[in-house]
């Protein structure tokens, strides 16, 4: 029995050191080895079962030897297994090495459309001045778009703002000024809001016209609001939008819903006022219409013009985008050509 145990140990050691495979095959080989030499049905176990037939003197000696054999096979097996795991890890690390010198894959990043970018810029400036941003309907009643703004039926101002009618009474708004009326109906002064959005006019498409474009309306109503507040607000806005040195200029004008009314120019941000291609040699760029809210408009919204006064302004976003980025054809803004858009 002694020879048998020793032979078994020698055989196990030899077999273990002969396992040279790797990966899954190695795990399988090691598992097979374990079953064969250390499992319940191993030869070692069957040798130990024969121990009962030995004499009482021999039994403890053989028992000790059998245990030694078992322990040494177990130790060798565990070492081999640990070793296999180490080798496995090293191989994996080598195989998965990342070459940090390889050029990266650049993800395709989108960006806001220039109209959205300028709209956001305008919004942020007015948020900084304490204005609220409100939304208004694009499908609008005649009343809000025209009549409430002192443009009754038959008024000539309707001719310059022809639009798309849903029915006799309902249309696609031609100006964000309609939101002034909604704002004053919903909320009593103090009101300080801007409202950006799409507007529509039945104009033929060309380099400077589109049946759909964008405006931002502004409205402030409170006690004691004057033309000085309008000028100060627009000056602050213009300096933030077009640069610290920007100057503004008011030219008298007429809008039915403001009195007095003005068109407002900013000094050309491209040439600083000397005259260039962008300002067409004038040194000034017209950016918006503005004025003091007409008393009739306030009254129609149940605001007493004896107690409150206000100013309003409205600007076209496309105009500002085109001047800012020196774009000479408005159609480019709507064609969604990535070659054009990715320049901004």
Measure the CA angle with vertex 71, ends 2 and 62; round to 5°: 25
From the list 84, 313, 319, 320, which residue makes contact with ligand DAH (rule: CB under 6 A)?
Answer: 313
- From the number of C-beta atoms within 10 Å of its C-beta (0-12, 13-18, 19+), residue 217 rates as buried
From the list 29, 42, 119, 177, which residue makes contact with ligand DAH (rule: CB under 6 A)?
Answer: 177
- What order of strands is seen across the sheet that includes strand 191-200? 132-133, 191-200, 212-222, 309-316, 284-293, 258-267, 248-253
Per CB under 6 A, the segment of 34-42, 102-110, 298-306, 307-315 that binds ligand DAH is: 307-315
3-state secondary structure (DSSP) of residue 159: helix
* Residue with Cβ nearer ligand DAH (234 or 333): 234
* Residue with Cβ nearer ligand DAH (42 or 180): 180
* Ramachandran category for residue 327: left, alpha or beta (phi over 0 → left; psi -120 to 50 → alpha): beta
Assess 238 for contact with ligand DAH (CB under 6 A): no
Assess 136 for contact with ligand DAH (CB under 6 A): no
The upper half-sphere exposure of residue 336, i.e. CA atoms within 13 Å in the direction of its Cβ, equals 1
- Residue closest to 246 by CA, chosen among 264, 226, 258: 264
* Residue with Cβ nearer ligand DAH (217 or 318): 217
Total residues interacting with ligand DAH, rule: CB under 6 A? 11
The 254-293 contact track toward ligand DAH, x by CB under 6 A, reads -x--x------------------------------xxx--
Strand-pairing partners, residue 258, are 293
The distance of closest approach from Cβ of residue 194 to ligand DAH in the complex, given in angstroms and rounded to an integer, is 10
Pairing between strand 191-200 and 132-133? parallel
Backbone angles phi, psi at 68, to 5 degrees: -60, -45
The upper half-sphere exposure of residue 335, i.e. CA atoms within 13 Å in the direction of its Cβ, equals 13
Distance CA 147, CA 126 (A): 28
The distance of closest approach from Cβ of residue 217 to ligand DAH in the complex, given in angstroms and rounded to an integer, is 6
Distance CA 334, CA 116 (A): 12
Q: How far apart are the first and last CA of the chain?
A: 90
From the list 140, 142, 217, 265, which residue makes contact with ligand DAH (rule: CB under 6 A)?
Answer: 217
Per CB under 6 A, the segment of 118-126, 136-144, 306-314, 319-327 that binds ligand DAH is: 306-314
From the list 115, 221, 264, 312, which residue makes contact with ligand DAH (rule: CB under 6 A)?
Answer: 312
* Residue with Cβ nearer ligand DAH (69 or 297): 297
The distance of closest approach from Cβ of residue 175 to ligand DAH in the complex, given in angstroms and rounded to an integer, is 4
* Residue with Cβ nearer ligand DAH (73 or 234): 234
The distance of closest approach from Cβ of residue 303 to ligand DAH in the complex, given in angstroms and rounded to an integer, is 16
Assess 314 for contact with ligand DAH (CB under 6 A): yes
3-state secondary structure (DSSP) of residue 177: coil
The distance of closest approach from Cβ of residue 310 to ligand DAH in the complex, given in angstroms and rounded to an integer, is 10
From the list 42, 175, 210, 309, which residue makes contact with ligand DAH (rule: CB under 6 A)?
Answer: 175
Enumerate binding residues for ligand DAH (CB under 6 A): 175, 177, 217, 255, 258, 289-291, 312-314
């Amino acid at each position: 029995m002694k020879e048998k145990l020793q032979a078994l140990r020698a055989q196990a050691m030899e077999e273990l050191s002969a396992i040279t495979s790797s990966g899954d095959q190695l795990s399988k080989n090691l598992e097979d080895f374990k079953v064969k030499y250390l499992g319940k049905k191993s030869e070692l176990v069957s040798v130990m079962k024969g121990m009962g037939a030995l004499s009482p003197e021999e039994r403890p000696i053989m028992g000790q030897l059998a245990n030694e054999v078992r322990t040494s096979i177990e130790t060798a097996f565990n070492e081999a297994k640990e070793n296999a795991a180490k080798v496995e890890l090293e191989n994996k690390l080598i195989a998965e090495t990342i070459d940090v010198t390889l050029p990266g894959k650049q993800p395709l990043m989108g960006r806001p459309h220039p109209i959205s970018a300028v709209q956001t810029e305008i919004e942020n400036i007015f948020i900084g001045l304490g204005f609220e941003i409100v939304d208004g309907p694009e499908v609008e009643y005649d009343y809000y778009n025209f009549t409430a703004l002192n443009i009754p039926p038959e008024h000539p101002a309707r001719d310059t703002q022809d639009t798309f009618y849903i029915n006799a009474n309902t249309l696609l708004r031609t100006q964000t000024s309609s939101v002034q009326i909604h704002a004053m109906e919903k909320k009593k002064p103090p009101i300080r809001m801007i409202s950006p959005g799409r507007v529509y006019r039945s104009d033929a498409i060309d380099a400077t016209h589109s049946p759909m474009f964008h405006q931002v309306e502004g409205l402030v109503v409170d006690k004691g609001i004057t033309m000085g507040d309008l000028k100060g607000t627009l000056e602050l806005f213009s300096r933030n939008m077009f640069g610290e040195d920007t100057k503004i200029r008011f030219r008298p004008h007429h809008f039915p819903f403001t009195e007095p009314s003005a068109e407002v120019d900013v000094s050309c941000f491209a040439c600083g006022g000397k005259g260039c291609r962008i300002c067409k040699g004038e040194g000034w760029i017209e950016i918006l219409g503005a004025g003091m809210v007409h008393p009739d408009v306030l009254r129609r919204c149940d605001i007493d013009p004896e107690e409150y006064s206000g100013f309003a302004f409205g600007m076209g976003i496309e105009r500002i985008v085109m001047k800012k980025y020196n774009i000479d054809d408005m159609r480019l803004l709507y064609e969604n050509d990535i070659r054009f858009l990715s320049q901004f």
